[in-house]
Amino acid sequence: MNILYDPYLNPVKFHKLDNVQLPNYVSRFMDDWAFRRTIQPWEQKLCFYQPWLQSDIINIQYTSNVAPIIFRLYNEKGYLLLTQAMDTVTQDELQPLFFVREIAINLASFDPGLYFFTRDVAGVITYSEPFEIHAAEDADEVFLENHDPTLYLIYNHYEPVGGIKFFTGFQGTLRIPAILRYKSPGSKDNIYEDQLLNETLINSIPYRLWELILGGNYGVPPWFIDRVARIFSLSDVSIDGRLFTKNEGANFEPSILDSYPMRGWLLELREKLNRDSVITEDETIIQGIAAAALLIDNKGFGIDGGPTEYQQLEYLQ
């Protein structure tokens, strides 16, 4: 039997084109069906296009006992643009007949537009949710002029979790329609209160609270927010190059519209490194005099007797 483990931590969701279930079942679970086919009759009919930039790389990892696993990329007109096989990285340490397989798909050579993947596993074809490749951001553009801003997540964990073997060096990537906004200052305080209820602040460590506002102008479907929530359960999640963690006790809070199948979400975050300064670094060489101190231990420059110590300070231009 051919078996493939597709973790929810992967950034791309696949499904069968025409799934089959018993006629007395009415539930269409999001893992098995295309999002557009899970929308209820009374809800607005729409499609979600997962965003990527031309500068992004899509990293995917599976564990399977079957190979090869072939990815094919098509544009919205159905033209085949890429065929790429997964690489076998290592043997699964718990299942000798299974192997960890990875693929990195670079989007730099594809024009902006709508696309989808197919995945061929021993002749069984599944389809990805559709996605849109946007033009790479111009470094001179003002961020606030972008009406549909996105953030780039890179994530990993200190140990294998959620079906992903992070010890192989795998780093997950996901682009989300979202903004990151400063919310408020916070602090953790240690306060002494005496018998007369006079208070003395012993210690206070300030930190920043941020809001991740996810969904953009249209919201995201259930399968997408489910993966984002799993990503923020990991030890290392960077947002546009800076590490963040969930604030203690924080959960995703939905913004719901009646008869609309997608939602916006809000999550309270903190920076993983609680900085107290802005660090500016450059590679400029400062001209001047450098001093080097040398400690020399010898026996008095040839004079018989006990050991002596000699210090010499040399100045180097």
Q: pLDDT tens digit string along 236-276? A: 999 999 999 999 999 999 999 999 999 999 999 999 998 88
For 226, list phi and psi in degrees, rounded to 5: -60, -40
* 301 lies in some domain: no
> Looking at residue 146, what is its pLDDT?
62
Q: What is the mean pLDDT of the chain?
A: 88
> Looking at residue 310, what is its pLDDT?
44
* 61 lies in some domain: yes
Structure confidence at residue 81 as a pLDDT band (50, 70, 90)? very high
pLDDT at residue 63 tops 90 = yes
Listed in sequence order, the residues at least 6 apart from 282 whose beta carbon sits closer than 8 Å to its beta carbon are: none
- Residues of the chain with pLDDT > 90, as a percent, come to 69
- Residues of the chain with pLDDT > 70, as a percent, come to 86
> Looking at residue 283, what is its pLDDT?
76
How much is the average pLDDT of 135-145?
A: 61
Angstrom CA distances, 55 to 47, 61, 73, 152, stand at 24, 20, 17, 10
* 119 lies in some domain: yes
Helix, strand, coil percentages, rounded to 5, for the chain? 5, 45, 50
> Looking at residue 144, what is its pLDDT?
56
**Cβ proximity of 181 and 210 under 8 Å:** yes
User: In 3D, which of 59, 56, 54 has the Cα closest to residue 87?
Assistant: 59
* 42 lies in some domain: yes
**Cβ proximity of 255 and 263 under 8 Å:** yes
**Cβ proximity of 115 and 130 under 8 Å:** yes
Over the stretch 89-98, which tens digit does the pLDDT of each residue have? 999 988 999 9
Structure confidence at residue 159 as a pLDDT band (50, 70, 90)? very high
- Give the pairing of strands 50-53 and 131-134: parallel
How much is the average pLDDT of 182-192?
A: 89
Domain encompassing residue 258: 4-271
Structure confidence at residue 317 as a pLDDT band (50, 70, 90)? very low
Most confidently predicted of 135-149, 205-219, 291-305:
205-219
User: In 3D, which of 101, 86, 108, 235 has the Cα closest to residue 168?
Assistant: 101
How would you label 160-175 residue by residue, b for 16+ Cβ within 10 Å and e otherwise? Answer: ebeebbbeeebebbbb
pLDDT at residue 315 tops 90 = no
Listed in sequence order, the residues at least 6 apart from 165 whose beta carbon sits closer than 8 Å to its beta carbon are: 61, 63, 89, 90, 92, 100
* 62 lies in some domain: yes
pLDDT at residue 143 tops 90 = no
* 139 lies in some domain: yes
How much is the average pLDDT of 48-54?
A: 96
Number of domains in the chain: 1
In which residue are the tokens 């026996």 written? Answer: 299
Q: E-strand spans in 130-171?
A: 131-134, 150-156
Tell me the Ramachandran region of residue 135: left when phi exceeds 0, alpha when psi lies from -120 to 50, beta otherwise: beta
* 282 lies in some domain: no
Over the stretch 100-116, which tens digit does the pLDDT of each residue have? 999 999 999 999 999 99
* 287 lies in some domain: no
